[in-house]
Structure 1
Amino acid sequence: MPSSEATRLRLRVTGAVQGVGFRPFVHSLADRYALAGFVRNDSQGVLMEVEGARVDDFVAALKREPPPLARIDTLECETITPLRDAKFSIEPSRDGKTQTRITPDAAVCDDCLSDLFDPKSRFYLYPFVNCTHCGPRYTLTRRLPYDRAQTSMAPFAMCEDCARDYADPTNRRFHAQPIACPKCGPRLDHSIEQIVTALQSGGIVALKGIGGFHLLCDARNEAAVAELRRRKGRDAKPFAIMVADAAAATGAGLFDAQSLRLLQSRARPIVIVEKREDFAPSIAPCLSRIGVILPYAPLHRLLFHAAADLALVATSANPSGEPLIVDDDEAREKLASIADLIVGHDRAIVARADDSVMSVIAGAPAFLRRARGFIPEPVALTNDGPDTLALGAHLKSTITVTRGREAFVSTHIGSLDDRATIDFFRETIARMLDILDVKPERVACDLHPDLASTRYAEETGLPVIRVQHHAAHIAAIAAEHKIEGPVLGAALDGHGYGDDGGAWGGELMLVDEGYWRRLGHIAPLPLPGGDRAAREPWRMGVAALAAQDRCGDVFDRFPGMELAGKVAMLASAPNVARTTSLGRMFDAAAALLGVRLMQQYEGQAAMELEALCKSPRALDNGYRIESHILDLTKLFAALLKPGLSAAQGAELLHGTLIEALAQWLRAAAQARGHTRVALGGGCMMNKILAEGLVSRLRDFGIEALLARAAPTNDGGLSLGQAHIARMRKV
C-alpha cells in the first residue's frame, strides 16, 4: 500500500495505444515501481492513475519503454488527490466518442516464432499464434475500444490455458485480444502438407491470409506461372515473389541496407529492387526490377518450414480487377476456375487489405501502394481543421478522413470501374467514418464531373469542394511535409481532368490556401483516340510524328497498324484533343523506339523504358522552354534517328527529361523566390527520373520534396484533396 507521502498522478495517453499490449505494459511498470491505481482503454486512448513514491520513475519509463507496436502521440499528466488504493488493476474499457486508433497488422514476432517451432509449446505449428507484439489488428477489428468482443475473435471462447495467459500480467499475451491455440482458436481447412504438395507439383493455391486471399504458385516453375497468368487473365503485369528469409531475398534481388530494413520491418511490404536471380521468365517480363516480400503470417512461415527452398509467386486474389477476396464462400465461388486448391479458415477478415508495395527512392522509402502493415496509421497535419472526407479519383482509389490534426488515408481500393469495387469504396468510407467516429463537415472530390467518386460526393448533402487532380498531387506532398504557405510543384503523371476540361498530366503549379494556379505545362501532343491512346502507345507515336509534320513516316514506323493513316489524319486535325501528360510522352517514346506499341497494363511502356535505361544522358539542346512551356519536340526528333537502339533511346529520354524538367522548375522557382519544390504524380515512381531530378535540383540549390507518407500516384490524391478542402472557406 502506498505510503502517506505518496503522490497520485492521472495520465492520459493518445496515439496507437490499443491492441499493442499497452495496459499490461503499464501494469508491469506499476509493479516495478510498487504503485497502486488502475489503467483502462477508452474512446480517447488509455487512461491511468498511479499512486506511490516512485511515480516520476514510472512516467520516465512510460516514455522510454513503450511496447514495440505502440505510438504515443500525446501524454498528459496531472497531480490529483491520493486515494490510498491497495493494488493496481486493469479496469474494463469504456465507450464514448472515439479519439484513439487501432494499430496496423504486424508480422509475427521472434518470440511467437520460437513458440511456433518449439515442440514443447502448445502453439507448436499453430498457424494463428500471436501476442501483444504481433499479429492482426486492423483487419480483424470491428470497432473501438479494442477488445476481443469487438473483433472477429469474439466467436472463439478461450480455453483454460489461453484464459490463464490472458489474465497473467507477466505474460506477453496478457490482454492479447486475438490469443488462441489449437484447442480453442481458428483452424485451417487444409493441412500445411497438402498446400506444399500442391505448390511443389505445379499447382495454384488460393490461400487466406491476414487481409485477404493470395494466389500462390512456384516462382521457379514457368509452366505454373504462365498458367496462373492465363487463368487470372493477367497477361504481363509483374508478380511479386515471397521467399523464406533475408538471405533468400538478397539472392533474388539487389538489396541495399535500407531496402533490406524495409523488407524486414514489422509491416512486411513488397519491396521493389533490381533483379538478381532469374525466376520464371513470365514473373516480370521485360522489366529489370522485381517485387520481393517475406513471410509475415505464421501460416506463411509454416510453408517455408515444410519446404525451405520454396520461392512463391504471391499475388492478390481479385479476379477481373475486383476487390481482394476475403470470404471463404466467395473464394470457393470465384476462384474455383483459377486455383487448384482453395485454403480458408474460420477467422473472419473484417477489413480487406492488400500487401503494401514500396521502393527506396532518393534515399528513403516511397509507397507505390499503401495498405496492410501501414493502414490505419495517420499522417500528422500542421493544424486543426474541419473534419473532412476526401474521395480520391478513379484509378488507384483511396479515401482520406481527417480528424483534428490527423489524416487517415485508407487502404488501396482499386479502380472504380465496376460495381464490386464501387461497393468496396462505399464500404471503406462507412468503416473509416465508423471506426474513427467522425461525422465529416465537408467532402472533397476530383474536378471531373463524371466519376463515381464525384457522384458519391454529390449524394452526401455536405458542402462539396472539387479539387483539380494535379493540384491534389502537390497538396498531398505539402500536407505530409507540413508546409504552410504557397507550394510550387510539378505534377507529372498519366491523366487528370484539367481546369479547362483538357487532358493534363505535365503541370507546373502553385498551390496556396486551398487554391491553385497553373503556371506552365509540357507542350501538348495530339491525343488521337482519347483514352484509347493510353492503352495503345503507337497512337502517341503517331502524335509525336504529327507534331513534327512527319505523318508520312507512320507507315514505316508502324507497318502493322492498319489504322495508322487514319490516326495520322486525326492527329493532324485542328480540333483533335491534346494532352500535356508526361505519361503519354513516355508512351510516344516507347512507340517511336519500338519498345511497346500496345499496353497490357497501366504504365507498361514507361516501366519497360526504365528497365532499358542504364546510364541516362541528356541530349544537347533536346528541349525548349518558353513562358513556362516545356517543349520536347527536339527530343522526339532525336529518337527517330537511324541506328539508335531502344536502350540508347531510353537513356536519351531519361537524361533529357531530367535536365529539361530540372531547368523548367529552376526557372519557375527563381522567378518566385522559392528554394523548394514538390514533385508529385505517377511518373515519380520512376526511380531513375525521380532520383535524377532530386540530384539535379540539388545542384541548383533547390530542395525537391517527394511523397513519402502516401503514394505519389493517384493513391495519394485523397490526402491532397483533404488538405486543400480543410483550408477552403465554405
Structure 2
Amino acid sequence: METIRVRLAITGVVQGVGFRPFVYRTAKEFQLNGWVANDRSGVQAELEGAPTQVWSAVERIRSAPPPSATIGELVAEQTAPKGYDKFEIVDSAVDSAEDVVGAAAAMSEIAALEHRIKEATLAVAVAPDIAICRDCRREMTTSKNRRFRHPFITCTSCGPRYTIVKAVPYDRSRTTMDKFPPCPQCADEYRDPESRRHHAQPIACPDCGPQVKLLDANGVIISGGWGWGGSTDGDRGGPSDNAAIRRARQLLKSGKIIAVQGIGGFHLACLATNSASVRRLRRCKGRAESRPLAVMVHDLAQANKIASVSATAAKIIGGPEAPIVLLRSRYESELAPEVNVGSRYTGIMLAYTPLHFLLTKDMPPLVMTSGNRTGEPMVTSIKEALNKLTGIADAFLIHNRPIERRCDDSVVQIEGSATAKVIRRSRGMVPGEIELPVYSRPLLACGAEQKSVICLAAGNKAILSAHLGDLKSSAGLQQYQYEIGQLASLTGIKPRLAVCDLHPDYLSSVFARQLDLPCIAVQHHHAHIAAVLAEHKKRTQVIGVAFDGAGYGADSQIWGGEFLIADAREYKRAAHLAYIPQPGGDLASLNPWRMAGAYLETCCADLHHLWPAKIKRRLNKEQWSLIWAATCLGLGAPKTSSIGRLFDAVSALLGFCDQVGYEGEAAVKLETLARLDFRSYAFDIKREHGANDASSANDANGPWIIDPQPVIRAILTDLRMGVSPSLIAGRFHLGLAEMIGKVCGLIRTETGLNEVALAGGVFDNAVLREVAMRVLARMGFTILLNKKIPGNDGGIALGQALVAAMQPSQKYGELFRPVAAASQLSTLGRPEGGEDDVSGDTGAGH
C-alpha cells in the first residue's frame, strides 16, 4: 500500500485552543501516524499514511478547526515517508524533538518550510484569554463533580491564555501555572485523548491548582490560604477557597470595597446598588463623579433587568471574549444613580472567570472597575495591590497564580441592534494578529498619548498590545516601556524601524526617537484613516473624515476636524473646520467654558444680547479678559480645527457642561441629551484661497473651510426662542452629519472618490455616527469604519504601522536622528512592585 508523509506548518491562533488534541484526534480518525507540536510561530505536524487519508485529514484540519482557533496560514508539503509507527503529541518543538523518531531532522525541514512562507513574518500563536465555557460552568455547579466550585476550572475551550504565558511555544512550563504540578487525576485527564482537558495547559483542580484567600486592608489573612506560612481556615483544596469567596460576598453586601485579583489585573468591586459604596469608591480612586463605571452581573437575566439586551448584545456579552458591552440603560433599574451619571448607557459584563462567577452568585450587580488610582496603570501583583490600593479597598480577594501580562477589560458598543464596534481592544481580543494589505519590514509603532496601544508589524501581519491607558504619569510611561519589551519578547520581532506621532512632545514620540532605530513620524489624522484602511485590508485612496479632540497638524496647529484625500502612503488636506483660538491650550479640554467663550467672541461678538445668561454669570471679569486676549490678541491660545472642542463649546452654551472631570465628558453629555427632530443647523462651506500648507489639497484654491459661525448664531437664537436644549443638541448633531455629506460630495465631484472612511474619537458618538452614515448612504457613498479595531486613539498605532510600511526605505530616519539603544526592547524590566513572591506570606506587615 502506498504511503506518503505530509509536513504541515500552521500559523494563527493555534496555541491554547485545543489545536494539538484536535490534530491528534483527526490523525487517529484517519488512521495516520506521525506527530504534532507547538513551536514559536504556531503548530507543526507530520501526517503519514495512505494518500487519500492524509489529504482528507489535511482538509479537515484546514476547514474545521476548534471554535476558538483561527488559522492564519496552513502550508502543506509532501515528502518521503519516515516510517512512524504511531501518532503522538509533542509538548514543544524546541524541547521535545528527541522524543519523536527522526523528529530532529524533521524540525529542520519544517523550519525551512516556514522560512519559505514569508521571511520575518510576525506570528503569535497564543490565544487570547477565553471566558469560562458552558461545560465548565456546569461542572463547577454540580455538587458531585470534583471541581465543584473550583475558582480556577478550565479546559481546552476556556480559561486564561495570554495573561499567563511567559514565552512561546505555549506549554505549561512556560506559563505561570508552572508552579502547580498536576495531581495524578489531572495528569490522567491531560493525557486522555477523549477528555476535554487533553493537553489543556492550565489544567488544575482543588487538590493541585491555585488557591484563594481574603486579606484585610492591612494584608492580614481573614480567610483562605495556600501554605505561605500564614494561617489558613482549611486544607489546600476547595473549602478554604470558598470560605474566602463567601466572606468576600458578605463584605460586599455590607457596603465594603473589595480588590479582586482577576486574570489580567485587579478590579475594585462594590455593590452597584449601594450609593454610599459607589460614591466612596469614586472618591478614593479619584474617579470623576460623572464618568460611568462598569458593572458585572452573574448572568444574562440579571443584565436584562438593568439594560436592554438585544440578541446581538447577548451573543457578544456571553461570548468567549466577554467584553464590557455598552447597553441602553433601563429607566427603572436597581443600579445606584452614581454608577452612570449623565450617560444613557451602562457598561455591562458577565462574570467571565470561575472566581468572578462564584463571587457574583446570588449577589446584586457589582461595580467592577479597574484596580488603580485614576491616571495610573491597573495593578497586577499582590504586592503592588497592597501598596497602591490600600486606602481604597477594605479587603483583598487574591490568589497565587501570578499575572504575567496586564490586560484590562475590552469595551464594545452595539450599533443599532445588528453589529458591534470595538471601543477598547484588550482582554479576550489580544494578541490576535491583524493582516495588513502590504508586507512590512519589522517595525514598532508607538501609538498616541491617550488610550495608548503599541503595534509590532512584520511581513503582512501586525499585532496590537492590550490597552495601556494614558501616558501622562511616570508610572504609565514605565508600564508602557515594559509592555513593549513584553510584546517584542513574545513575538520574537526585532524592529528595524520606529514609528511615532507627529507631535514632538508626546511621551510615545519621545520614546520612539530615543531608540537606536530610524524613526518616521506619521500625522495623527492620517494614522486614523490608515487604521480604517488596515482593518478593511485596503491601501487605495479614500475620502477620510477624521474628527477628534486634538492631533498635531502639518502646519503645527491643532487639527481635529479633517477631511483628507488619503491612501495608506500619503494624504492631502481637502477640507477642515475653520481655525479658532483655543484659550489656555490643553486647559480648554477640561474647561468647556473656554471654548464657549472663544466661539462667542469669534462668531457672535455683535450678538452680545443673545449670549446665554448662565455663561455670562459663569465667567468673571478675569476669565472674560483671558478669552478676549486669546481671541483678539492670540495670547496663550494655539489655533484649533477640532470638532471635539466644538462639541465642548456647544455643550457649555446649552448649560450641559462647562467644566469636566474627564476629557470628552462635555461631548458625552451632548450626545446623551440630544433629541433629533427634522431641523438642523447649516455650516458655511467656502474655499480657502492662497493656502500655503503643503499638506493641503493640491489645487490653487486650497482646502474647503467649514465655518461654524452660522451654527453658533442659530443656537443662540433658538435658546432665546425657548427651544429645548435637547432639541438644539439634536439639531447640532444632524447639522454635523449633513455637513459631512456636503463636504464629501464636493470632494467626490473633484476627485471621483466614492469611499468614505470615518475615523477618530468623535465617531465613538453613536448618534453622530449613525446619522452621518445614513446621510452618506443616501448619497451613494461606500462607508468604511473601524469595528474590530478602535476608531479612537486605541487604533492609531495600527495606522502608523501601515503608513510606515508603505514608505520608501530612503525616507527612514529623515525626520529624527536616533540617540539611544534599541536593545532595550527585549530587556525593559517589570515596573517596581510588579511581581509577586509566591514563596513567602503576604500577611501582616504589608
* TM-score exceeds 0.5: yes
8 Å CA contact 1:394, 1:415 repeated in 2: yes
2-structure distance, mates of 1:691, 1:620: 17
1:67 has 2:66 as partner: yes
- SS of 1:389's equivalent in the other structure is strand
Aligned to 1:654: 733
1:350 has 2:350 as partner: no
Select which of 611, 616, 625 maps to 1:566.
625
CA RMSD of aligned residues (A): 1.7
Unaligned runs of 5+ in 1: none
Would the alpha carbon gap of residues 13 and 512 (structure 1) be closer, same or farther in structure 2, given more than 3 Å must change? Answer: same
- SS of 2:150's equivalent in the other structure is coil
8 Å CA contact 1:538, 1:558 repeated in 2: no
Cα displacement string for residues 388-416 of structure 1 (whole angstroms, at most 9, x for unaligned residues): 10001111111000021111111111111
1:679-698 equivalence runs, <5 A? 679-698=758-777
Cα displacement string for residues 219-254 of structure 1 (whole angstroms, at most 9, x for unaligned residues): 111111111111111122110111121122222212
- In the TM superposition, residue 588 of structure 1 has moved relative to its aligned partner by 0.5
Aligned to 2:347: 291
- SS of 1:719's equivalent in the other structure is helix
Cα displacement string for residues 244-276 of structure 1 (whole angstroms, at most 9, x for unaligned residues): 211222222122222222111100000112111
Would the alpha carbon gap of residues 574 and 252 (structure 1) be closer, same or farther in structure 2, given more than 3 Å must change? Answer: same
1:23 has 2:20 as partner: yes
Task: Give 1:640's aligned amino acid.
Answer: L
Select which of 321, 326, 335 maps to 1:267.
321
8 Å CA contact 1:558, 1:564 repeated in 2: no
Aligned to 1:423: 478
2-structure distance, mates of 1:23, 1:485: 39
1:366 has 2:421 as partner: yes
Task: Give 1:694's aligned amino acid.
Answer: M
Aligned to 1:548: 603
Task: Give 1:257's aligned amino acid.
Answer: A
- In the TM superposition, residue 622 of structure 1 has moved relative to its aligned partner by 4.8
Aligned to 1:582: 643
1:81-92 equivalence runs, <5 A? 81-92=80-91
2-structure distance, mates of 1:213, 1:558: 45
Cα displacement string for residues 154-177 of structure 1 (whole angstroms, at most 9, x for unaligned residues): 111111111111111221111111
Select which of 484, 499, 518 maps to 1:444.
499
Between 612-621 and 180-189, report the one with greater CA deviation. Answer: 612-621
Aligned to 1:173: 197
Task: Give 1:688's aligned amino acid.
Answer: V
2-structure distance, mates of 1:572, 1:100: 52
8 Å CA contact 2:12, 2:433 repeated in 1: no
Aligned to 2:586: 531
Select which of 152, 168, 182 maps to 2:176.
152
Percent of residue pairs bearing the same amino acid type: 39
1-structure distance, mates of 2:745, 2:316: 33
- SS of 1:413's equivalent in the other structure is coil
1:486-505 equivalence runs, <5 A? 486-505=541-560
- SS of 2:339's equivalent in the other structure is coil
Select which of 39, 42, 51 maps to 1:42.
39
8 Å CA contact 1:546, 1:571 repeated in 2: no
1:204 has 2:204 as partner: no
1:597-608 equivalence runs, <5 A? 597-608=658-669
Task: Give 1:315's aligned amino acid.
Answer: T
2-structure distance, mates of 1:58, 1:622: 62
2-structure distance, mates of 1:619, 1:87: 73
Task: Give 1:173's aligned amino acid.
Answer: R
- SS of 1:90's equivalent in the other structure is strand
2-structure distance, mates of 1:618, 1:521: 23
Task: Give 2:632's aligned amino acid.
Answer: A
- In the TM superposition, residue 625 of structure 1 has moved relative to its aligned partner by 4.2
- In the TM superposition, residue 647 of structure 1 has moved relative to its aligned partner by 0.7
Would the alpha carbon gap of residues 621 and 15 (structure 1) be closer, same or farther in structure 2, given more than 3 Å must change? Answer: closer
1:719 has 2:809 as partner: no
Task: Give 1:522's aligned amino acid.
Answer: L
1:51-450 equivalence runs, <5 A? 51-53=48-50, 54-95=53-94, 99-190=123-214, 191-235=244-288, 236-276=290-330, 277-278=332-333, 279-305=335-361, 307=362, 309-361=363-415, 363-450=418-505
8 Å CA contact 1:361, 1:690 repeated in 2: no
8 Å CA contact 1:316, 1:324 repeated in 2: yes
Would the alpha carbon gap of residues 299 and 162 (structure 1) be closer, same or farther in structure 2, given more than 3 Å must change? Answer: same
2-structure distance, mates of 1:126, 1:578: 58
8 Å CA contact 1:542, 1:571 repeated in 2: no
TM-score after normalising by structure 1: 0.97
8 Å CA contact 2:360, 2:366 repeated in 1: no
8 Å CA contact 2:683, 2:706 repeated in 1: no
Aligned to 2:220: none
1-structure distance, mates of 2:680, 2:630: 26
8 Å CA contact 2:438, 2:805 repeated in 1: no
- SS of 1:558's equivalent in the other structure is helix
- SS of 1:343's equivalent in the other structure is strand
Greater relative contact order (CA < 8 Å, ≥ 6 in sequence): 2
Aligned to 1:594: 655
Would the alpha carbon gap of residues 517 and 665 (structure 1) be closer, same or farther in structure 2, given more than 3 Å must change? Answer: same
Aligned to 2:754: 675
2-structure distance, mates of 1:175, 1:620: 62
- In the TM superposition, residue 107 of structure 1 has moved relative to its aligned partner by 0.2
Task: Give 1:93's aligned amino acid.
Answer: S
8 Å CA contact 2:568, 2:802 repeated in 1: no
TM-score after normalising by structure 2: 0.84
1-structure distance, mates of 2:561, 2:438: 30
Aligned to 2:782: 703
| Equivalenced residues, count | 725
- SS of 2:295's equivalent in the other structure is strand
2-structure distance, mates of 1:372, 1:167: 29
1:637 has 2:710 as partner: no
Would the alpha carbon gap of residues 452 and 669 (structure 1) be closer, same or farther in structure 2, given more than 3 Å must change? Answer: same
- SS of 1:501's equivalent in the other structure is coil
2-structure distance, mates of 1:704, 1:65: 32
8 Å CA contact 2:438, 2:806 repeated in 1: no
- In the TM superposition, residue 56 of structure 1 has moved relative to its aligned partner by 3.0
2-structure distance, mates of 1:398, 1:630: 32
1-structure distance, mates of 2:678, 2:555: 35
Cα displacement string for residues 287-342 of structure 1 (whole angstroms, at most 9, x for unaligned residues): 1111111110001111233x1x4201110011131111010011111111001111
Between 432-441 and 607-616, report the one with greater CA deviation. Answer: 607-616
Aligned to 2:562: 507
Would the alpha carbon gap of residues 130 and 620 (structure 1) be closer, same or farther in structure 2, given more than 3 Å must change? Answer: closer
8 Å CA contact 2:592, 2:648 repeated in 1: yes
2-structure distance, mates of 1:423, 1:196: 35
8 Å CA contact 1:379, 1:709 repeated in 2: no
2-structure distance, mates of 1:310, 1:457: 46
Unaligned runs of 5+ in 2: 95-110, 112-119, 215-243, 689-703, 810-846
1-structure distance, mates of 2:419, 2:555: 36
Cα displacement string for residues 416-468 of structure 1 (whole angstroms, at most 9, x for unaligned residues): 11111101110111111111110111110011111211111111121110011
2-structure distance, mates of 1:70, 1:322: 34
2-structure distance, mates of 1:509, 1:625: 16
Task: Give 2:643's aligned amino acid.
Answer: L
Would the alpha carbon gap of residues 387 and 618 (structure 1) be closer, same or farther in structure 2, given more than 3 Å must change? Answer: farther
Task: Give 2:339's aligned amino acid.
Answer: I
- In the TM superposition, residue 577 of structure 1 has moved relative to its aligned partner by 2.4
Aligned to 1:33: 30
2-structure distance, mates of 1:180, 1:502: 57
Would the alpha carbon gap of residues 94 and 83 (structure 1) be closer, same or farther in structure 2, given more than 3 Å must change? Answer: closer
